[in-house]
Amino acid sequence: MPAFPLSETRPARTAAALPATLLAMALAGCASAPPGPAAKAAATAAIAEAAPAAAPCPKDVAAIARCLSGQDSAGAYYLIAVPHQWNQHLVLHAHGGPALGAPRAERSVEDLERWQIMVRAGYAWAGSTFRQGGVEVRAAAEDTERLRQIFVQHVAKPQRTVLHGQSWGASVAAKGAEMFQRTADGKRPYDAVLLTSGVLAGGTRSYDFRTDLRVVYQYLCNNHPRPAEAQYPLHIGLPADVAMTQADLAARLNDCLGLNRPAAERTPEQQRKVKTIVDVIRIPASSIQGHMNWATFHFRDVVQHRTGGASPFGNLGVAYKGSADDAALNAGVLRYRADPQAVARFAADTDPTGRIPVPVLTVKGVDDPTAFVELDAQFKVTMEQGGSSARLVQTFTQHNTHSYLSDPTYPTLMNALLRWVDEGTRPTPQGIASDCAAQEARYGKGCAFMPAYVPAPLVSRVYDRQRP
């Protein structure tokens, strides 16, 4: 990926120079009982941010936009693109993942390359790497809001700002829309929210199936950990002191399941085990590796860095179904109890409340292999419980991909959102499907909306279980 220079200008006021009360507010985002939206907005605005520097745009947008980059006062890198023919609206992007480890400036370049359709459609685009890797939603929401303020202070004041969250970033956007509801001058920081391919059931429900995958895999394969290795509770992901890479984990999965081979070249035993996982966990074979990575390395991040060393994941009460011998499977899988305090801490950071004061539009491919379509059914329940059901419209497509659906899909959704904001016209899935066809003349084929589709409840896809 192309490199881009970072501004060497330092913020006018550093964290060390802040009054103690403001500094405490600025750090409060990691607490289990964070301050209200007004206090959070004031805390995030307390540090004056340096202006971004001119930077090269990725090659696919270089001819149509100018780009700016920098590193904010919390350490997050960011990239901004403003089209030469700007429509005066800003798309504030919260990326998926999350990656583990220190942030990389290149991450925002990669995000802009993926979402260049927004710039091609005339929107300014701004994306943060977030200040840290790992599964911490509120901190990422703070970094995203900080970037909005940088744009307003140093680039321009957009007429409308749409907060866009993709995948895990959809949970960041949903949480951010709850946290930041008013700016210092009493205005709304975000006019609308677009959630695409979102992980929207909160951390305490969205990852249950990965706990199930981990224990069923171990029942079948018994190599993660191996019998001769130190044993540990699988719901912690991996002990802090165990050195393992994704390549190491892939080798174990390939030994047992033959995932690196075409299905026809796997042994009968490997085929049987893969089929058991697919039928019991209800995921495609192609996604086993990715979900096992999450259930190993991201679970470790959550337990070691977010929930005080205790696991918020459990599978007590789950009745697994779909194997050749369900009785043996249920008797043989390891069982774990989620720690109540860990669940509470994880919920405070990752679970949406549904109290979003602006229009929210979602889209999900019904065969998304990473973020199940049933997660959106749970999000609808959350929005209803939070009193925001009238501000939610959900759409679904025939796509079987996760990271990106199609070029005409996203401008269609943005148009619908902005009409909703400007004219008060609540969109309908049918209207969006019809409008998308008109966008294909400009952006190419790819419309696949299913206006009549309604997802089943999450419990139909992911096993119910005992909860603290």
Asked if 194 and 316 sit in the same domain, the reply is no
> What CATH code is carried by the domain that includes residue 152?
3.40.50.1820
Asked if 406 and 452 sit in the same domain, the reply is yes
- Give 434: exposed, middle or buried? Use CB within 10 Å, 0-12, 13-18, 19+: middle
Query: CA separation (Å) from 43 to 19, 70, 94?
Result: 11, 21, 20
> What is residue 205's predicted lDDT score, i.e. its pLDDT?
97
> What is residue 27's predicted lDDT score, i.e. its pLDDT?
33
Angle between helices 137-154 and 168-179 (to 10 degrees): 70
Does 2 map to a domain?
Answer: no
pLDDT 10s per residue in the chain (468 long)? 333 222 222 233 333 333 323 323 333 333 333 445 444 444 445 578 999 999 999 999 999 999 999 999 999 999 999 999 999 999 999 999 999 999 999 999 999 999 999 999 999 999 999 999 999 999 999 999 999 999 999 999 999 999 999 999 999 999 999 999 999 889 999 999 999 999 999 999 999 999 999 999 999 999 999 999 999 999 999 999 999 999 999 999 999 999 999 999 999 999 999 999 999 999 999 999 999 999 999 999 999 999 999 999 999 999 999 999 999 999 999 999 999 999 999 999 999 999 999 999 999 999 999 999 999 999 999 999 999 999 999 999 999 999 999 999 999 999 999 999 999 999 999 999 999 999 999 999 999 999 999 999 999 999 999 999
**Domain extent for 53:** 15-203+355-458
| Element (DSSP H or E) covering residue 420 | helix 409-423
Does 443 map to a domain?
Answer: yes
pTM for this entry? 0.90
The number of domains in the chain is: 2
Final residue of a domain: which of 312, 347, 382?
A: 347
Does 124 map to a domain?
Answer: yes
Does 131 map to a domain?
Answer: yes
Asked if 329 and 360 sit in the same domain, the reply is no
- Taking the C-alpha atoms of residue 56 and residue 120, their distance in angstroms, rounded to an integer, is 17
Asked if 323 and 276 sit in the same domain, the reply is yes
- Give 401: exposed, middle or buried? Use CB within 10 Å, 0-12, 13-18, 19+: middle
Asked if 249 and 334 sit in the same domain, the reply is yes
Asked if 194 and 214 sit in the same domain, the reply is no
Q: Look at residue 193 and give its three-state secondary structure.
A: strand
Does 56 map to a domain?
Answer: yes
In sequence order, what E strands does 296-391 have? 360-365
Final residue of a domain: which of 327, 347, 367?
A: 347
Beta bridge partners of 393: 361
Does 377 map to a domain?
Answer: yes
Strands 192-196 and 65-71: unpaired
Asked if 180 and 313 sit in the same domain, the reply is no
The full DSSP string for 185-221 is TS--S-SEEEEES---S-HHHHTHHHHHHHHHHHHHH
Asked if 256 and 373 sit in the same domain, the reply is no
Final residue of a domain: which of 347, 378, 393?
A: 347
Query: CA separation (Å) from 436 to 51, 395, 405?
Result: 38, 12, 13
Asked if 312 and 250 sit in the same domain, the reply is yes
Asked if 216 and 196 sit in the same domain, the reply is no
Does 191 map to a domain?
Answer: yes
| Element (DSSP H or E) covering residue 159 | none
In sequence order, what E strands does 273-379 have? 360-365
Asked if 363 and 342 sit in the same domain, the reply is no
> What is residue 45's predicted lDDT score, i.e. its pLDDT?
53
> What is residue 28's predicted lDDT score, i.e. its pLDDT?
36
Asked if 96 and 178 sit in the same domain, the reply is yes
Q: Look at residue 94 and give its three-state secondary structure.
A: strand
Does 378 map to a domain?
Answer: yes
